[in-house]
Amino acid sequence: MVQRRNVYVFANQKGGVTKSTSSANLAAALSRKGKRVLFIDTDPQGNGSSILGFQPYENDNFLSTYDLITNNASIRSEKDFIIESPFSHLFLIPSSPDLYNADAELAGKYTAVYSIKKTINFYDLKKKFDFIIFDTPPNLGIMTYSALTASDKIIIPIVPDKYAIEGMTQLQKAIVDVKENLNPDLELFGVLLARISKNENMSKRIIKKTKEYFGPKMVFETYIRKNVTAEEANAVNRPVVFYDERSSAAKDYIKLADEVLRREEKR
């Protein structure tokens, strides 16, 4: 029986590229379509968890991705570490501030990078969810490597920035490293352009350069347009697709979910 390839990771070592906003809103948009989605937050900032209604900095009685990667908690079933979000069909394994120390704590513990993947496999989570989506921190440390090791497909978010494409060299090296040593089946699924304003020269340039670098077929047809409503939704801890479905940001993330589903149907 062919194993499902339904684990996605949003990765880019640069900060401020909408990783948390885009990963959380894609998860929400897919759940809105009736898909059962698990969101896994490996970023110690916890923005993705917050967007989905869980505040890591205001709770201390929960298990997180920190507990999974350090194996320092007693777990009897997936109900011990998977939290049901306030939104139908959407579940999460939240971040924790303790993740800030993960790289130092796990230095030299080379098997730790497999911990989250082992958890997904042991509890058969690929069969229990239609989509599993990772958010990652803005670095190429242990948590990003763990997410890449556990994932099937990468989505790279890029925003209009002078050095956006130049910064891809480090990420590409990390992806090659993971494929050669940790997860040979990892593949690039798509590149997402966000904060786009087609009337601005910088947006036009980044669209052109991204298509030249990755190839036009690898870049999602859906662009996430620049829109203040997404920031407003983040501020009140809601995905924009539930906060204001009439906004351009909500429409774009819903359109992105449709495009992801179409791409999967063609495979």
| Residue 157 DSSP SS3 | strand
CA–CA separation, 217 vs 133, rounded Å?
A: 22
pLDDT for residue 109: 82
Give the domain ranges of the chain: 7-266
CA distances from 8 to 27, 53, 156, 226 (A): 10, 21, 10, 24
**CATH code, residues 7-266:** 3.40.50.300
Per-residue pLDDT of the chain (267 residues; tens, 9 = 90+): 557 899 999 999 999 999 999 999 999 999 999 999 999 999 999 999 999 999 887 777 789 999 999 987 788 889 999 999 999 999 999 999 999 999 899 888 888 999 999 999 999 999 999 999 999 999 999 999 999 999 999 999 999 998 888 889 999 999 999 999 999 999 999 999 999 998 899 999 999 999 999 999 999 999 999 999 999 999 999 999 999 999 999 999 999 999 999 999 887
pLDDT for residue 2: 56
CA–CA separation, 260 vs 190, rounded Å?
A: 9
CA–CA separation, 8 vs 141, rounded Å?
A: 18
Q: What is the CA radius of gyration of the chain?
A: 17
Return the percentage of the chain with pLDDT > 70, whole number: 99
CA–CA separation, 232 vs 239, rounded Å?
A: 10
Tens-digit pLDDT profile for residues 100-150: 999 899 888 888 999 999 999 999 999 999 999 999 999 999 999 999 999
pLDDT for residue 57: 79
